[in-house]
Structures are given as structure tokens and as C-alpha cells.
Structure 1
Amino acid sequence: MKLVRRLILFISLTVIILSLTGNTDLPKLPLVKEQAKNFFTGLAGENKQILVVKIDDTNAAHPQIGLESADVVYVEQVEGGLTRLAAIYTSKLPPLIGPIRSARISDIELLAQFGRVGFAYSGAQSKMRPVIAAANLENLSAERNPPSIYGKDPDRPGPVDMILKPDLLLERANANPKIRIETATASVFPFGDAPKGETNTAVAKVKWPSAKYELRWDSTNEKWLIYFNEKPNMAANGDHLYADTAIIQIVSIMPSIYGDKFGEITPFSKTTGSGKAVMLRDGFSYQISWQRNLETDVTTWMSQDGGVANFKPGRTWIFLTDKAPVLTP
């Protein structure tokens, strides 16, 4: 009891002395520094240079290499109703990525919203090269880099044998003072609590003329497991590829002036304008809408009530299609 009285007396005397001397500064507590977040994932981490890699998505290309490290994956329709991927890396680079394939006209409009990205691909037809040269991106294709960076996997048949070493690619690019690859300075997706209007969904099916994707909700791990052409979509390292947020973005797909060497017309997926979409997150689906007025605008995502349709932080897959998905509770 005496100890408590002495402590109270000491505190009282200290307050009186401070008031008489005019020294009222109290000890300052150290500020807690806010943890940096990656703008493509919404998770804690760095924002490194934006590298976009074109990856083959035919049956022969599976299992793909390094796709498990992508922050965002776009699925695009190409010739013959097949699909091809544009994988975006900003938080970490895997040692290898592939199989690498060529650029398509849809990439130019799609990628303009992310600033001056590094664009890695195998090549492009001569008619498209002036378009790529005029675009706000850095051409890091195999046409401009040596086989030590874009190598060949002897265990894979052509044309699905080209494999990229992304660290060497960026090292070489950054050594060139004429090349400028940007990093994200603001969030490209809205991250936060889920919007209203959810519907219980266990499976979502997305279809193109010659390719099928399926997303199945894994309630144990709280992920959307990805299936390709009715088989588990496995990466070469053995990981089952998944999405924390999946977007089925309904776009206009129309013939372009380009084509492949087999005479197939290259489709163009228009990602400016506005349209409908379905968001998958947390075991639910949401009917949402998207809008992007200019190529340089980041796509905005809106819920049915006009609010922001927030993504779940983590990996995002976006499927560009002109057909609504089939949803199963």
C-alpha cells in the first residue's frame, strides 16, 4: 500500500514540475509503418517492373511453366477458337516461363491500361510489327533477344518448346538506357470486402469454340481451382493452378485484319467500352459490369447496385469471352 502511495506521489510531483517548467512534451510513440502492398495482387509485397508474357494454351503446351507465379492471367481467344494467355508478373519472377508464343492484336489494347510494360513473346507477323512499335510498351520479344534468354526445351515439341528466362531478360533490358519499363504506382484492381448480391456457386464453366475452362470452388483451401479442357490445370512444378478472384469478362470478339500462316483469321477481343461480367470470389458469383472508356484507362468494375465490385486480394484470372458462363450452385 505504501508503494502505491509513493508511486502516486511521484507521478503528481512530475506533473507539477512539468507544468511549472513549461515542458509538456510527452514521449512520442514510434509510428507503425504501413506495410507496402503489391498493386496487382493487393497483398503485402513489392511492386516490381511489369512484365507481360504470352504463353501457349493448347493441350500440347500443358503443363505450363512458371504460370503459378503470375499475379494476373488473361485468357484470350486466338485463331481456330483456341485460347492463349497473357500472364502478368510484378511481385516475383519464376526461374522459367513458357511455352512462349507470339503476340496478338488484342494484346495492344488490353495492355495499354497498365502503362509501359515489358512485353515478352516469341514473335509477330510483319503486318503487326508497326502496331507493336507504336504501342506504349517495350518490345522484349525473342526476335530481339538471344537464345540464352529465349531457349528451347528439348523435351517439348515445337512450337511449344520456347522457354523464357525472365530474370536475364529484364537484366538485359535494364542495361539498355533506351528501354523503360514501368512499375505500378496505384492499384489496378479494387481490393476489399465483397459486394452485395452474391449467389452460391460451386462451379463456373467458360467456353470458346475450341477450348473450355472450369473453375471449381475448393472450400477447404478457399480457392477457385482451375480445370482446362476437363482436366486439372496443373503447372509444370506440380501446383494445381487457382484463382482467388476470377472474372468472366463479356467482350465483343470480332475478326481482325490479321491471320496466321494457316489462313485462320485472328480474332480481336475489344476490352474498351463497357459490358457485363461475372465475378467469382469466396465461393460466390456476382453479376457485375465493367467500363473502360479509353485504352489508357484502367478498367472499372461495378456491382449491381452501382458500387465498386471489390476483388479478393491474391491471384486473379480474367477470361475474355463473348459467351456468358454456366454457373452451378
Structure 2
Amino acid sequence: MARGARTRRAAAAAALLAAAVTASLVAGCTDDGDDGGRPSASPVQPSPRQPSPRQPGGGPPLLAVKIDNAPAARPQTGVDAADVVYAEQVEGGLSRLMAVYATRLPEAVGPVRSARESDLELLRQFGRPVLAFSGAQSRLLPVIDAAPVDARTPREASGAYFRGTGRPAPHNLYVRPGALLPAPPGAGALTTGFRYGAAPDGGTAVASRTVRYPAARFTFTWSGARDRWLVALDGTPAVTTGGARVAAATVVVQYVTVRASAYRDFRGSNSPYTETVGSGRATVLRDGRAHEVRWERTRAAEGTAFTTGDGTPVNFARGPVWVVYVQAP
């Protein structure tokens, strides 16, 4: 009997050890550590390019990538190639980026991080875009699956992702856009509602503008030599992994409602929801001047219109656009 009891105890201990090892491996492969979402693999071999469904109107889709903006994730890769970069507030007053690619696809983008509920409303303007992200809060995943986006996490497109070296997870996950799209769809896929052309009259000359979140800040400094606004993140110049300064031709500081969502991260912190449908005021920075304007987006399937006080459409400068969503006062 004593020998049988020892055998049963040994078997039970082995089972517990195996369960612990399995749990450890799963935890090591989960999304961000801040979401508790869909597990993500760490592929080492790329797979062939995967076809993506066409837009409802027949054209090819564009690509949106959720990008880490924590200090440990910098410098980021591929942000300078984006046509539009959206900045949003996330848990703890931190920030995260969503980069949109239509006119060119860089070799790699990242570090890739998780999606949020408000991303779905923001992306609705692009028809059915490809969304590259690392995962999401578990209760949000069915909502993403039902949304009009072509969701591509490491689970759906393992060969498109890889882990970089020199950084700890979760700040080392990257995506190869060319493995998700055969070619960039072109400027016609940028159904943002943005207009490009001559600058509006008036405005105020400004050397720089800083936008603050509770635990993050963005600074845009005008460079006449480059005709661009140089980007700084939390007081540090934003550069690419190749050392080039990240810059925007137009910056939009858009005042919106940022409210609590129905979702929380694994720490219990609520995920903010940034409302991008509605109307309000915004500041458009271009050509070294700041223009106070109005924004309006009547429904999620449409882009955003920016107008002056008399209703005249506001033109942006041609080149990359950064849109920073900030809580309306």
C-alpha cells in the first residue's frame, strides 16, 4: 500500500509539473502581457504571401498596423513609411500608434502590439482593411472577428511575423507587410476624407506644439529645411531603426471624447475608447503655422472633414499625416 501511495504521489507531482511547464510556455507566447488575448507564435520561417480579400468596392485593401509606443519599443521600425499615423491613449494614460500603409510597404513594421475596441470604428472608413496586431483582450476578440476588418495576428498569419533580437517580449514582435499584401493598394485606398493642396489663409506661426496624455507626450517641431514637423516622443527625438528622424508634413491635433470602454486589461485597468465619429475642434499644423479648424465625421463608414470657421475645406500638405487624438477640454 505504501509503495502504491508513493507511485500515485509521484504521478500526481509529474502531472502538476507538466501543467506548470505548459502554462509557462503559453504565458510566454501570449499577446502583450497587458491584454491576456489570443496567443501569438514566434515564427522563424516565413510563409508564402497570403492573399487578402478585396475591398467591397473591388479595390485592394490597405494595411493598418498597431504599433507599440512604450519607451522600451523605440526606435520603431517602418513608421516613417506610413501614409497616416494615428496616436491614441491606452491604459494608464500611455499612448499607442496605428500606422496606415497604402502607397508603399516597408520591409518590416513594429514592434506590433494589441488592438483596442475604438480601432474598429476608426478603421471602418477604409472598407475592409487588413489589420495587423498581436492580439486583444479575450472578450474583444469575437467583436474583432465580426468587424469589417481582415484580422491578421500571428495566429492567422504566422509566417508574416518574427521576433527581433536585442529586446525582451512583448517589445520585439514585427510584421512583414509584404507577407500580408502582394503590393500597396495606392493612394486611392486612403479614404480618410483628407484634402491636399494650398494652405488655408491665416493661421499662427508656431515653432513647435506639444500634446500631452496623462503618461505620454508628443512634440512636433517645425523644420523649414525639411518642410516637415519633426516628431519627438516623451521629449526624445523619434528616429527610425536606421537613425532617420521621423517627420510629418501635416499634424492634426484632434479633440475628441475619450471615455471608458467595456474592456479591461489583465491588471484591471480600463481600456479607453476614443470616439472618432462626431464633431469638434482641431488644430492643423502645416508649413510652420497652426490653423484652428472644425472636424466632422458623420458615420464610421466615412472619413473626416476639416473646415475653417466659414465652412471652407482645409487642405493638408502632401506627405505623411500624424493625427493625435486628445481628450476635448
Give the fraction of aligned pairs with identical amino acids, expressed as a percent. 39
CA displacement, residues 287-316 of structure 1 (integer Å, 9 cap, x when unaligned)? 001001111111111112210011111110
Q: Specify the alignment match of 2:110 in structure 1.
A: 98
Shift of 1:149: 1.6
Separation (CA, whole Å) in 2 of partners of 1:145 and 1:313: 33
Instruction: Say which SS state the counterpart of residue 98 (structure 2) adopts.
Output: strand
Q: Specify the alignment match of 2:297 in structure 1.
A: 292
Matches for 1:271-310 after TM superposition, within 5 Å: 271-310=276-315
Separation (CA, whole Å) in 1 of partners of 2:235 and 2:60: 35
Separation (CA, whole Å) in 1 of partners of 2:190 and 2:94: 34
Shift of 1:169: 2.3
Separation (CA, whole Å) in 2 of partners of 1:80 and 1:187: 29
Instruction: Say which SS state the counterpart of residue 180 (structure 2) adopts.
Output: helix
User: Does the 8 Å contact 2:220/2:229 carry over to 1?
Assistant: yes
The answer to whether residue 82 in structure 2 is matched with residue 70 in structure 1 is yes
Q: Which consecutive unaligned segments of at least 5 residues does structure 1 have?
A: 1-46, 174-179, 325-329
The answer to whether residue 213 in structure 2 is matched with residue 202 in structure 1 is no
Separation (CA, whole Å) in 1 of partners of 2:191 and 2:180: 25
Separation (CA, whole Å) in 2 of partners of 1:229 and 1:101: 19
Matches for 1:1-329 after TM superposition, within 5 Å: 49-146=61-158, 148-171=159-182, 184=189, 188-322=193-327
Separation (CA, whole Å) in 2 of partners of 1:187 and 1:292: 10
User: Does the 8 Å contact 2:193/2:302 carry over to 1?
Assistant: no
Separation (CA, whole Å) in 1 of partners of 2:207 and 2:165: 40
Shift of 1:96: 0.8
Equivalent position amino acid for 2:131 in 1: F
Instruction: Say which SS state the counterpart of residue 52 (structure 1) adopts.
Output: strand
Shift of 1:187: 6.8
Q: Which consecutive unaligned segments of at least 5 residues does structure 2 have?
A: 1-58
Q: Specify the alignment match of 2:24 in structure 1.
A: none
Separation (CA, whole Å) in 1 of partners of 2:278 and 2:328: 17
User: Does the 8 Å contact 1:197/1:304 carry over to 2?
Assistant: no
CA displacement, residues 251-272 of structure 1 (integer Å, 9 cap, x when unaligned)? 0000111111111110000000
When residues 186 and 206 of structure 1 are mapped into structure 2, their CA distance, relative to the original with a 3 A threshold, is closer
Number of residue-to-residue matches in the alignment: 270
Q: Specify the alignment match of 2:52 in structure 1.
A: none
TM-score by length of 2: 0.78
Separation (CA, whole Å) in 2 of partners of 1:97 and 1:185: 19
Equivalent position amino acid for 1:199 in 2: T
TM-score by length of 1: 0.78
Equivalent position amino acid for 1:168 in 2: A
CA displacement, residues 107-160 of structure 1 (integer Å, 9 cap, x when unaligned)? 0111111211000000112211121122111111222121x3211112111110
CA displacement, residues 6-32 of structure 1 (integer Å, 9 cap, x when unaligned)? xxxxxxxxxxxxxxxxxxxxxxxxxxx
Separation (CA, whole Å) in 2 of partners of 1:297 and 1:149: 30
RMSD: 2.1
Separation (CA, whole Å) in 1 of partners of 2:208 and 2:174: 32
User: Does the 8 Å contact 1:102/1:121 carry over to 2?
Assistant: yes
Equivalent position amino acid for 1:72 in 2: V
CA displacement, residues 170-203 of structure 1 (integer Å, 9 cap, x when unaligned)? 25x9xxxxxx9x9628673111111123111111
Shift of 1:48: 6.3
Larger CA Rg, structure 1 vs 2: 1
